[in-house]
Amino acid sequence: MPEFKTINDTVHGTIRLDPMVLDLMETLELQRLSGIRQLGLTYLVFPGANHSRVEHCLGVSHVAGKLADALGVPVEEKKLVMAAGLLHDVGHGPFSHTLEHILSSKLAIDHMHLTQAIILGDEDNVRPEERKAFPDVPRIPAVLEKHRVAPKEVAALIRGPEEATGFRTPRARARRYLGQIIHSAIDADQIDYLMRDAHYTGAAHGMIDFNRILQTVALYEEELVVDRKGLPALEGMLVARALMYSSVYFHKTVRIAEQMIARAVERSGSDVRDVQKMVDAELLQWLAGQGEFQRDVALRIKYRKLYKRVWERGRDELTDPQRQALLELSDPPKRRRAEDAICKRAGIPPGRTIVDIPLPELLISEPRIAMTDVKVLDEGKVRYFRKVSPLGRALQARDVSDWVVMVAGDPRYRKEIGRAAERVLFG
């Protein structure tokens, strides 16, 4: 009889781990995630947000299994989505999404690209010298193959049913619901992180009726749908997602802390692939040993002496020419030149100013944020959520942050930065 173990999860209660999950949990790739906070630097604002990325991965695997059971899929398909749920974040770097835009800018990839490559064995998120310390520990592809799960099929689910051609297989295309369980407008990833992050931050916005969702999901023409009876639970989940982004994930102080770390890494000139292999504590220690600017940022994060918001503009406060000027700053080199120009005009050291334009980064780190394309089954007919519920249309139009552009900086130079910012950004 196969060996099973149980763990007590803070959010889902008792979770049973089957042999495949247990073996995957022993890999260095997954254990590394224990040193990465699920919410990055959010603990500086919400002190309880110290949960790790590995907790979330276990939760996603559990939720994926529950959704598979609710949909009545075969055992081998349940095994596949549970593996994908467990492994979907192995490509994350220190402080989770904090360095995502640097990865995108420097290498034209994101953490999901790295995740797929790690699952396939083409990349590694463990340093070579650390890998050599544990020569008997197998890598993820070997573990999956041992349990008769194809690494390529797991990798194909990470981006959902619209996966790039290079990872598609005819079998995966025929079973769109498998990809939807892992990455879609309503998936195991979002269900777990909303529940988990709400619990650890104490924010009531993220509470969702998972049990009702389980009772009302179904398969229709090889796709995941929600029965009309589950519409209130679906609305609640998508509203919770929107509110959590506004109140937690894109809290202005969290954004400032994340941008401070990102600028310190960006200005170090180091290979982002090496930085991506670090965990949170290693990154702060490494920054402290770099230049003066990096050391200052590491100390400010350690003691929560953060930059302060100096100046910001919302969508309705901008003219068309100003919006166009900001669009150009979505290019990282141009944005960095603008930051340097503000510092020069203000007569302060380089790096002490941050120009934050969140929307481009949000689309990299969370491409599902505007997704409301859930299909609702109503008396044998399928309609899109946005056609059934007015909330669907409202959520697509809703802004995540209150600002389109925010300038923050060293509080010692608040006045100087404030005077220089608008002149540099808008001429």
Let me know whether 61 and 195 are in one domain: yes
Let me know whether 75 and 181 are in one domain: yes
Q: Where are the alpha helices (DSSP H) in 184-331?
A: 188-201, 210-216, 231-244, 252-266, 272-276, 280-288, 292-302, 320-328
Q: Is residue 112 part of a domain?
A: yes
Residues with Cβ within 8 Å of residue 100, at least 6 apart in sequence: 93, 110, 111, 361, 364, 365
pLDDT in tens, 17-36: 999 999 999 999 999 999 99
The boundaries of the domain holding residue 321 are 308-357+404-427
pLDDT reported for residue 315: 82
C-alpha angle 205-374-198 in degrees, rounded to nearest 5? 15
> Structurally, how many domains does the chain consist of?
2
pLDDT reported for residue 314: 85
Give the domain CATH number at 207: 1.10.3210.10
Q: Which residue has the tokens 């899109």?
A: 384
pLDDT reported for residue 167: 46
pLDDT reported for residue 168: 53
Task: Give the whole-angstrom CA distance, residue 142 versus residue 121.
Answer: 9
pLDDT in tens, 206-233: 789 999 999 999 999 999 999 999 999 9
Nearest Cα residue to 425 out of 325, 334, 331, 328: 325
Task: Give the whole-angstrom CA distance, residue 317 versus residue 48.
Answer: 35
Strands across the sheet containing 381-384: 217-220, 223-227, 375-378, 381-384
Task: Give the whole-angstrom CA distance, residue 379 versus residue 294.
Answer: 60
Element (H, E) at 172: helix 170-174
Q: Is residue 284 part of a domain?
A: no
Tokens of 306: 């953060």
Let me know whether 37 and 136 are in one domain: yes
Let me know whether 142 and 47 are in one domain: yes
pLDDT reported for residue 366: 58
Let me know whether 223 and 313 are in one domain: no
Strands 223-227 and 375-378, sheet pairing = parallel
Length of the chain, in residues: 427
pLDDT reported for residue 361: 64
Let me know whether 387 and 328 are in one domain: no
Q: Is residue 90 part of a domain?
A: yes
pLDDT reported for residue 415: 93
Find out whether 239 and 395 touch, Cβ atoms under 8 Å: yes
Let me know whether 337 and 205 are in one domain: no
pLDDT reported for residue 319: 87
Task: Give pTM, 2 decimals.
Answer: 0.92
Let me know whether 28 and 163 are in one domain: yes
Q: Is residue 190 part of a domain?
A: yes
Orientation of helix 100-107 relative to helix 252-266, angle to 10°: 40
pLDDT reported for residue 166: 43
Let me know whether 335 and 242 are in one domain: no
Let me know whether 139 and 228 are in one domain: yes
Task: Give the whole-angstrom CA distance, residue 234 versus residue 134.
Answer: 45
Let me know whether 213 and 349 are in one domain: no
Q: Where are the alpha helices (DSSP H) in 304-413?
A: 320-328, 332-346, 358-365, 385-388, 390-397
Q: Is residue 280 part of a domain?
A: no
Q: Is residue 45 part of a domain?
A: yes
Q: Is residue 289 part of a domain?
A: no
Alpha-carbon 43 to chain mean position: 16
Q: Is residue 347 part of a domain?
A: yes
Which positions of the chain have pLDDT values less than 50? 1, 164-167
Let me know whether 389 and 412 are in one domain: no
